[in-house]
């Protein structure tokens, strides 16, 4: 197993996050050698400047947190984020299209974003708390079909975060064809290790420091 800190996307996606908050996040990520910082796209350029000549990657979100933006809007947001220095994109699927069983629209939405980053990582956020088991399986299949590199459980802004059962469902579909990121509600080391032991490759959490120190966090994400 990798070192625990190398699983963590150190996350700050609150709408009231300030520039100073983002600078602090980047400093923490450098200090603790987290895999990446995960931030809103307006702060990518700031994070890029803070993480210059550093191993920490920059992950940003697209169509966040609802996933209901047009495909064109998601594509343009992706282009801007890459131009500003993003290494990885976490995009939210169009949950309404999925529930409407317009599966072509879902995979075309994902594919259009992936086409903008042939050499960068795309994680597709399913928002599993809003889906039943069939929809989780179908969304995972559509992400695979669309060329995604990861499927991710949650935005952290829905009605719930990652669950063991949801990750097992996602794992049953993707097996080894793409990776899984668990996010939302991962606040302590025991929970983090439970997901890693299931085969999760990345953890999205604002509790990374508490996790690696074996403490409990009160963070909501």
Catalytic site positions: 90, 152, 181
- Beta bridge partners, 36, equal 9, 57
Residue 201 DSSP SS3: coil
- What's the CA gap between 110 and 53, in Å, rounded? 31
CA angle 135/77/162 to nearest 5° reads: 35
Query: What's the Rg (C-alpha) of the chain?
Result: 16
Q: 210 vs 10, 169, 194, 207, CA distance in Å?
A: 11, 28, 16, 5
Q: What is the DSSP string of 141-197?
A: HHHHHTT-SEEE---SSSS----HHHHHHHHHHHTTSSEEEEESS--SHHHHHHHHH
* Calpha distance 181→124 (Å, rounded): 9
Place of tokens 């947190």: 65
- Determine which helix (DSSP H) or strand (DSSP E) holds 24, and give its type and residue range: helix 19-32
């Amino acid at each position: 197993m990798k070192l625990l800190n190398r699983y963590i996307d150190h996350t700050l996606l609150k709408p009231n996050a300030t520039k100073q908050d983002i600078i602090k996040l980047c400093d923490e990520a450098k200090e603790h050698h987290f895999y990446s910082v995960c931030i809103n796209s307006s702060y990518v350029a700031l994070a890029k400047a803070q993480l210059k000549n550093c191993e920490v990657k920059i992950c940003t979100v697209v169509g966040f947190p609802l996933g209901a933006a047009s495909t064109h809007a998601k594509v343009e947001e992706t282009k801007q984020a890459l131009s500003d220095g993003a290494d990885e994109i976490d995009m939210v699927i169009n949950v309404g299209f999925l529930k409407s069983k317009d599966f072509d629209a879902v995979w075309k939405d994902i594919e259009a974003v992936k086409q903008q980053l042939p050499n960068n990582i795309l994680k597709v956020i399913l928002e599993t708390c809003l889906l039943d088991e069939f929809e989780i399986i179908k969304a995972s299949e559509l992400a695979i079909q669309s060329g995604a590199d990861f499927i991710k459980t949650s935005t952290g802004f829905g009605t719930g975060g990652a669950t063991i059962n949801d990750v097992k469902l996602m794992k049953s579909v993707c097996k080894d064809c793409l990776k899984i990121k668990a996010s939302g509600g991962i606040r302590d080391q025991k929970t983090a290790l439970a997901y890693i032991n299931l085969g999760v490759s990345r953890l999205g959490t604002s509790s990374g420091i508490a996790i690696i120190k074996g403490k409990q966090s009160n963070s909501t994400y």
